Structure 1
């Protein structure tokens, strides 16, 4: 499995061992860059309707550049896509589907609370191949161990202490921080340091270089400089 982080919540997951390879792009939103050049995509998965997770203006070009790609979204984002006249599939927690041999289970239900006076929106978490979890904007607990957790590092709906407790509860082999574009660079670094320092002993923290594919083997990855706890 290779992962490429395009900033904020947008991650490309490539499973080259499956038949012909399978490429899934998650949450191409307005805070992310470079995903519009992605090719040979098999599916685009949207967790929820907020613009930092779905860029309706750039999606049509991305879909056109990837003939046959499946665009799959939660109910809230589905409504936005219908309004924009963009063909897609809607899925909800409890659903499951397969993309070229890669099994995807839909979890979650609701976006984490930003403020009680704001309306709640739906949020899908995607558990991919039983190995990779993208929780969207909620701290969704998987039904069992996961190899890689895309752990939110910041947002108006969370404190970093909540991200740390989430990481400790899931206890993945590797955690990749995402959802940090709203933080100043100095605060991104601080949150990453806190995640490293307070992660479970068995968990690596890997901060991915933007736009660069990173390989994740089937077993626990070896510790790297970027993954050491400070």
Structure 2
């Protein structure tokens, strides 16, 4: 038995993945259309430029969307946190709390710990906290509301694992903020890692990382790095 098989967790995840698929259907269709009518690189560049001009506005416009990890990626998050025996995990972009449930489940099975999340949208913070409570994992999670460059400035100690799944243009600044606290061997997972500055940084071994693309959810730009330096 593990936390992912507990009824409160399975019930919450089943419901949330269904809700996410329904909620984000229109957004996914719109994004597919945008990518179909413009070169992929240009569509990504447009999104990053929009974020860099007003990332809070972009996030506010997506406040009703889950933008969640898939069940397969969620299980991978759980497995990774278990494998590295994580006790403190940082998550940039908690959204509605689906990925938080997978990570907190791993902490529960690791014997306890702390998941420190950051989410800029108030409504998402409230919903994520409710969903974590329904999964009976709320005692392991602290979701900090606001700009991650401020809310994650103090994470309280060594970080065993980092998940980047928020505003794409902030991946590198958030990584550099957490980097001094990353434990040796800490995995760094980035969803939708399309920003060239981030990919160039973690792709250069001189910066202390080994990096590979993940085959899970191909096309979503999932990248896996390990802090080795």
Q: TM-score, normalised by structure 1?
A: 0.38
Which one has a larger percent strand, Structure 1 or Structure 2? 1
Q: TM-score, normalised by structure 2?
A: 0.38
